[in-house]
Structure 1
Amino acid sequence: MYIPALFAASPQAVQNLLASPRAANLVTMTDQGLLATLLPFAFNPAIGRYGALQAHMARNNPQWSLAPLGEALAIIQGPDDYISPSWYASKAGHGRVVPTWNYSTAHVYGELVVHDDAGWLGRHVRHLTGLHEGGREDPWAVDDAPEKYIAGQLRAIVGVELVITRIDAKEKLSQNRSAADAEGVAAGLRSIGREASAAAVERARS
């Protein structure tokens, strides 16, 4: 990934991308070419040197059964937004402004490990569900469903774990703009309901 020094993600920003419940594109090079699948994941910091991303995919998906040639890659995408030049204070001053795109992303590389056993999968889906259901007024739990039904669902999926070897991460959040322009971007993002993106722009300047 091309990362200008100004846009290099801080260690804390990387941890935020890993730990926040979201999905990532798992990309592997195989003897049948490149394969990619979008998968919800959970980050486990206790695995290996840098932690691991744990996910699952349909058993019918051929990606898990085709051994990767070299490292596998998970592409994690944080908030991303179109940035209008009309939000910049400098538009009124000299007008030399153009649109851009703000984003945060991490390219996570590692060794792909397959888990084809009900015990690992059961623990994984309960943990993953808890990450997304936590905080809801009436959270759903895996064990709310009939045991036989869940057992059947687990047989239809396979666990995949990316044991992390390295991470490239970037945050382009208006760090190259003046303070007044960045304030305008944050205000503009809030005006369209993008509170998390606005907060990220403000955090990048703190």
Structure 2
Amino acid sequence: MTSSPRQPHHSLALRTLTTLVSVDPMATAILATVSEQFKNLFFFDWKPRKTRKTVRFADTCGRELCEIRVAAESSDCPPTLDPSVLERYRTDGSEEEHKFVWIPSFPQPAADFTRFLRTLLQNKVALENVVVNGTDVLGTVKVANMESEAENGEKSVFVRYTTNGWASYLDKSAVENARVRNTSTFDFEIPGDGEQVEFCICFKTNDGEYWDSNKGNNYILNRMEM
């Protein structure tokens, strides 16, 4: 005689409570509460089994722990280098040529602000400062905004300079970069060649030309070897 499979105790208990519901509807609430309790009783400690992870090194499996590869190129084929690498070692001799600095023979005009303003009011144009950048000479100039400018707005500033003691000279235009109600600022750049650079500044308007020549002495920078 074959016996029927044995039912779990909690299944039998739940089936018994379910039968009670058909007898007494009041047992519905009891069934809900007891069912939750049975579930907590029989299933609270059940967790899925975790697979254990292991780590194996290649040499324990009969393989090489490291692999060495040698890249070779033919002897008549030069290696290919990134251009940025070559740029680090490229030289055109300019570093050797630029081993000198320009030394101004005058103080920075704007350092004495009272004197600077006096020059600007009297001459309508004044050198503000000078900066040496490599072999080039950079500077800024302040000019007074004239009443006649309001009508036509025409004005220009240029630097007249020489590197051979005025045996010859060149005029280099300055560029306006700022303007306020009473003044405008111009930038200029002139190349530094020879042993000495000498320059003066001209402010040109429809009313005429105004010069700042450092009271007739001009602005002079002397070359000093490093």
* Common fold by TM > 0.5: no
Q: What is the TM-score of this pair, normalised by structure 2?
A: 0.25
